[in-house]
Amino acid sequence: MVAPDSNNPELELELELLPYLRVYKNGVVERLVGTRVTPPGLDSLTGVDSKDITIVPETGITARLYRPTAVEPPRKLPLVVYFHGGAFLITSSAEPIYHNNCLIPLAAATESVVLSVNYRLAPEHPLPAAYEDSWAALQWVAEQSKTSGDEAGQEPWLKQLVDFEKVFLLGDSAGGNIAHHMALRAQNSNLAGNFKIRGIALIQPYFWGEEPIGSETTEPEKKALVDSWWNFVCPSDRGNDDLLINPFADGSPSVEGLVGEKVVVIVAEKDILRDRGMLYYENLVKSHWKGKVDIFETEGEDHAFHLLDPTSEKAKRLVNRLALFVNED
């Protein structure tokens, strides 16, 4: 791409949203990170196989599906529906930090089938597109759970391996935000099929608010940076108290409406989003929600550390905690 300071007015820089992207006056979006692609296939180290599937052809929603090859029918496995992070702006299941560092280890550790949803990204597809795509993915799973025999459109890996009574919603950062909203929507909707969402795991979830709390009060530059990210993907008159980003703003649906039997909130000590995750946990504990609520904190680490250094002992402990969450009774 021509440098932003080109004399061509169409290539002049209109907005730079670091560290994610640049937007030019002609509407071109240049993503600075999160654009790499790793092909699916068998991982010889873990024995996890993967493939790409299309969920909703009309809107182009795809997903990457993972299965541990050491497990064969008739044994049935949990299904983890995973929503990746990236501030609603970047990355996909094919990004190496997700494919190699997150999704393969997750499928191996949990011994589950993992469906990682590739929702459409802002700004080309403004919010609520990511939420609508994620909901369409859940509707697709519901349809899969009620099919039998060799019906058209049935995904073989799901038919052969998945116990639809054990479905879990997991997500990190923006994906944790999405998992929360999907769990609210699922409780209040009549999803067809014979499946059950057992729980949700929110990994360093992307929640925010207009008034600073915790470390946000002592790190105003970080607060302003996160403010700018959200205001870019979701410009609204409510700003950072929009109901999509602040689950406790006036008018937000009660967390008592979450579907499932258990929730784990995973935070990192140095993450600017930590205190919002802690607030979510504390409010859920205080609510009349009937399920089991846990918190898991990693000391001395920042946001997404487990994606950037997946071989560290702390990252392994995080993945093991997710495995316990999925497999404990």
CA angle 124, 206, 31 (to 5 degrees): 35
Give 148's Cβ-side CA count (13 Å radius).
3
3-state SS string over the chain?
CCCCCCCCHHHCEEEEECCCEEEECCCCEEECCCCCCCCCCCECCCCEEEEEEEEECCCCEEEEEEEECCCCCCCCEEEEEEECCCCCCCCCCCCHHHHHHHHHHHHHHHCCEEEEEECCCCCCCCCCHHHHHHHHHHHHHHHHHHCCCCCCCCCHHHHHHEEEEEEEEEEECHHHHHHHHHHHHHHCCCCCCCCCEEEEEEECCCCCCCCCCHHHHCCHHHHHHHHHHHHHHCCCCCHHHCCCCCCCCCCCCCHHHCCCCEEEEEEECCCCCHHHHHHHHHHHHHCCCCCEEEEEEECCCCCCHHHHCCCCHHHHHHHHHHHHHHHCC
Is 173 one of the annotated active-site residues of the chain? yes
Question: Of 92, 116, 145, 173, which residue is the catalytic one?
Answer: 173
263 Cβ contact partners less than 8 Å away, ≥ 6 residues apart: 199, 200, 201, 202, 284, 291, 292, 293, 294
Question: Of 180, 271, 275, 306, which residue is the catalytic one?
Answer: 271
Strands 61-68 and 113-118: antiparallel
Is 99 one of the annotated active-site residues of the chain? no
Question: Of 84, 99, 180, 303, which residue is the catalytic one?
Answer: 303
Partners of 116 in beta bridges: 64, 82
Is 271 one of the annotated active-site residues of the chain? yes
Residues 18, 9: Cα–Cα separation, whole Å? 22
Give catalytic residue positions. 173, 271, 303
